Amino acid sequence: MDTWHAHRRAFWTFFLPPTAWLVLFFLAPLALVWGFSFGEKRGLVEIAINGTLENYVRALDPLYLRIFGKSFWFAALTTLICLAVGFPVAVAITFAPPRWKPILLLLTILPFWTNLLIRTYALIAVLRTRGYVNFAAEWGWERADAALAWVGLGDLHLLGERFEPLAMLYNNTAVVFGLVYVHLPFMVLPLYAALDRLERSYLEASLDLGASQLRTFASVVVPLALPGIVSGVIITFIPALGSFLTPDLLGGTDSQMIANVIERQFKSANDWPFGAALSFLLMYVTFFALALRAAASRGRSAMEAA
């Protein structure tokens, strides 16, 4: 690696354009919103940045605390379900025959690359009252009803007068379902990366020394894969916490998350300072989670160095 002052011209050629762009069109907007979070709304579009903490205080209002709490709960539940589902999937991919591995990995990554909006839309199409799941259920109901009529029990309406479609959308369950659907690949990939790095001989040694498969899993696989688990948990938790589209499209009036509140402050409610404060609270949580992850990976390299 060269020191920058040994090749000043080359250095500035490479360094300046991206850095200037980042400062101007990314850091400056962020700084502006950060400033707004300490500001006060004066008139329709005017905001005075006067160092007030009022916006942050307002975020502690029980109404918003409840939404924060709910967002955390949704994100945590999502992460937990993803971990429970993702771990066996990651194990299965890790120990799959070599020629299957890339295909399975590709299948895991591919949904990543499909538009988030379209994936969410697909869930709506499948789950809504006139959706495919309900259609299949209705078809089943009709057959069952006809079968009952055929054996002479038709008048009793054992299955109800009419088919009642299942209400699978616009509630909290739908939001968590959608979040899991969207974020599962985020969990599987770091878990896979950690498991793939794991030396097979550790597992073999454990089995050879008399531990059962379960015991080996608990006292060898999990501790060694821990950095990967931490990484996966954080990588899943952060975007889940900041989700906007999933609760917006799949949730009911009671399933709003922080991002939806932020959006409302900036669009319909037009209270930018408060929206800015909420948005930066979300950022602080993100930074905290990232710091945790960095600490975990530092712990890992320290462990490997030892």
Residues 220-279, interacting with another protein (CB under 8 A): 238-239, 241-242, 244-245, 249, 258-259, 262-263, 266, 272, 275-276, 279
- Residue nearer to another protein on the CB measure, 161 or 200: 200
Of residues 154-183, which lie at the interface with another protein (CB under 8 A)?
Answer: 181
Beta-ladder partners of 126: none
DSSP reduced 3-state for 6: helix
Of residues 26-45, which lie at the interface with another protein (CB under 8 A)?
Answer: 26-30, 32-33, 36, 45
137 binds another protein (CB under 8 A): no
Closest CA to 172 of 250, 240, 263: 250
CB of 63 to another protein, least distance (A): 19
Options 38, 79, 131, 145; binder of another protein; rule CB under 8 A: 131
CB 194 within 8 A of CB 225: yes
How many residues are listed for the chain in this entry?
306
- Residue nearer to another protein on the CB measure, 74 or 181: 181
Tally of CA atoms within 13 A in the half-sphere of 97 that contains its CB: 2
* Part in contact with another protein (CB under 8 A); list of ranges 3-11, 54-62, 147-155, 157-165: 3-11
Closest CA to 232 of 91, 115, 130, 103: 91
Q: Which residues of 162-180 are buried (b: 16+ CB within 10 A; e: fewer)?
A: ebebeebbbbbebbbbbbb
Strand (E) or helix (H) holding 138? helix 132-150
- Residue nearer to another protein on the CB measure, 3 or 268: 3
| DSSP label at residue 154 | G
Say which amino acid occupies 51.
G
107 binds another protein (CB under 8 A): yes
Options 48, 57, 290, 303; binder of another protein; rule CB under 8 A: 290
Burial degree of 263 (CB within 10 A; 0-12, 13-18, 19+): middle
Of residues 59-78, which lie at the interface with another protein (CB under 8 A)?
Answer: none
Residues 6+ apart with CB under 8 A from 59: 65, 68, 274, 277, 278, 281
CB of 268 to another protein, least distance (A): 13
- Residue nearer to another protein on the CB measure, 152 or 210: 210
- Residue nearer to another protein on the CB measure, 179 or 258: 258
Q: How far apart are the first and last CA of the chain?
A: 27
94 binds another protein (CB under 8 A): yes
* Part in contact with another protein (CB under 8 A); list of ranges 9-17, 59-67, 147-155, 160-168: 9-17
CA–CA separation, 62 vs 82, rounded Å?
29
Options 59, 67, 81, 89; binder of another protein; rule CB under 8 A: 89
22 binds another protein (CB under 8 A): yes
CB of 254 to another protein, least distance (A): 18
202 binds another protein (CB under 8 A): no
CB of 280 to another protein, least distance (A): 8
